[in-house]
Amino acid sequence: MAIQLNVERFANLRTPFYYYDTNILRQTLDAINTETKKHDNYFVHYAVKANANLKVLKVINEAGLGIDCVSGGEIEQVLKAGFPADKIVFAGVGKSDWEIELGLDKGIFCFNVESIPELEVINEIAASKGKVATVCFRINPNVGAHTHANITTGLAENKFGIDMQDMEKVIRLAQGMKNVQFKGLHFHIGSQILEMDDFIALANRINELQDKLEAAGVHIEIINVGGGLGVDYDNPQGNPIPNFKDYFAVYDKYLKLRPGQTVHFELGRAVVAQCGALITKVNYVKENAIKKFAIVDAGFTDLIRPALYDAHHRIINLSSSEAEETYDVVGPICESSDTFDKGIRLPKTHRGDLIALLSAGAYGEIMASSYNCRRLPEGYTSDELL
């Protein structure tokens, strides 16, 4: 079932705002759990960077998922939402001391460590607290992903992770430290990935690395394959639930596990993108010699993905069903990049019409800014607008 957008429900709300259809979210979570239930060693940690709205987080927590954080602020937010600390994995290339301390104080499941200097600092801080930090190493697998260059992370040229050739060295280093316990490997090759071949390439790479480690007598317990599964931005209404079956089947089929190993996933976008829409109002329709602009009250401060990544979000007019015309849909911010889409067909659009930008549940509200001193958008769930 597609996202339900009911104009009457929205009548008294100040635009722009995010709307989350919790039916879609729950169906998505069910689809994930249906697949992971087939394995008693698969654990999904929702990547909270995609959406940290408390109301959304509570629904995700109810479904029993763990959490992937990349900052101390995210750890604080997910604890507020009720997630247990021992389901938190904490990644990030530049963790600050206070963030490491917070992770240790709260007793998170695992630090995903991205460099030797970071490992040394974690060991030192853990020692000062008389604690032992569980660590995995994020390895850069040098596997490309067929996605936008800005959201590719697993290539040697990217800043993330530890080089494959240094893997054994850092493991030995960690094994010699008193206040860290090395448990496994972490990977992440990028985001909005729809080609299952990319995940197959990652699984094959992990197999190679495991064989090497096994030959060197190193056993690992945790394999974290990161996130990255994409969603259908072209047809969100026809295809609202991502293809979790094929995604998990890749790891089932290609990843070679040793006894006792657990596999961890960090899905963000695939969990929340399709349940969310940005709802905005048309302030003006302006026509010049060559085109018509629908000028809406949301801008790139509310949804930056089109400006930053050339992303396309399906745009629908919730108020008009008149004959279609061609529009550029633009925001009010004083930059030309404040354009949501160009030359799209919409029913004849008027001042006051409500417009929805679909598939906006991931990397939407959370990336909002107050540039131009604009207000941050609110986020509402269907549960509270009944």
- Which range touches ligand LLP (CB under 6 A), out of 18-26, 45-53, 103-111, 274-282? 45-53
CB of 139 to ligand LLP, least distance (A): 12
Find the binder of ligand LLP among 87, 95, 183, 188 (CB under 6 A): 188
- The contacts of residue 8 (CB under 8 Å, 6+ apart) are none
Full DSSP string of 134-162: EEEEEEE-----SS-GGGB--STTSS-SE
CB of 319 to ligand LLP, least distance (A): 28
- The contacts of residue 265 (CB under 8 Å, 6+ apart) are 42, 43, 44, 45, 224, 225, 226, 227
Residue 115 is a binding residue for ligand LLP (CB under 6 A) = no
CA dihedral 50, 55, 60, 64 (to 10 degrees): 140
Q: What are phi and psi of 236, to 5 degrees?
A: -65, -30
Residue 188 or 281 having the CB closest to ligand LLP: 188
CB of 346 to ligand LLP, least distance (A): 24
Burial of 119 (0-12, 13-18, 19+ CB in 10 A): buried
Residue 191 is a binding residue for ligand LLP (CB under 6 A) = yes
In contact, 230 and 194? CB cutoff 8 Å: yes
Find the binder of ligand LLP among 28, 192, 301, 381 (CB under 6 A): 192
Only one residue has tokens 């949301």, namely 298
CA angle 315, 299, 313 (to 5 degrees): 25
Quick note: the x/- pattern for ligand LLP over 47-66, rule CB under 6 A, is x-xx----------------
- Which range touches ligand LLP (CB under 6 A), out of 10-18, 125-133, 265-273, 275-283? 265-273
Residue 269 or 374 having the CB closest to ligand LLP: 269
Q: How far apart are CA 295 and CA 273, in angstroms?
A: 24
Find the binder of ligand LLP among 103, 141, 226, 379 (CB under 6 A): 226
Q: How far apart are CA 271 and CA 47, in angstroms?
A: 9
Residue 151 is a binding residue for ligand LLP (CB under 6 A) = yes
Site size toward ligand LLP, by CB under 6 A: 22
Find the binder of ligand LLP among 205, 305, 313, 314 (CB under 6 A): 305
Residues 125-144 that bind ligand LLP (CB under 6 A): none
CB of 92 to ligand LLP, least distance (A): 8
Residue 61 or 191 having the CB closest to ligand LLP: 191
Residue 13 or 200 having the CB closest to ligand LLP: 200
Residue 267 is a binding residue for ligand LLP (CB under 6 A) = yes
Q: How far apart are CA 187 and CA 247, in angstroms?
A: 16
DSSP annotation of 190 reads B
- Which range touches ligand LLP (CB under 6 A), out of 266-274, 278-286, 287-295, 350-358? 266-274
Residue 28 is a binding residue for ligand LLP (CB under 6 A) = no
CA angle 260, 263, 268 (to 5 degrees): 160
Find the binder of ligand LLP among 184, 268, 276, 377 (CB under 6 A): 268
Residue 68 is a binding residue for ligand LLP (CB under 6 A) = yes
Q: What are phi and psi of 76, to 5 degrees?
A: -60, -40
Residue 67 or 294 having the CB closest to ligand LLP: 67
* β-strands 262-265, 42-47 pairing: parallel
DSSP annotation of 98 reads H
- Which range touches ligand LLP (CB under 6 A), out of 20-28, 113-121, 226-234, 336-344? 226-234
Residue 36 is a binding residue for ligand LLP (CB under 6 A) = no
CA distances from residue 202 to 35, 143, 155, 224, 298 in whole angstroms, order as listed: 20, 6, 11, 11, 38
**Contacts to ligand LLP by CB under 6 A:** 47, 49-50, 68, 91, 151, 153, 188, 191-192, 226-229, 266-270, 305, 309, 363
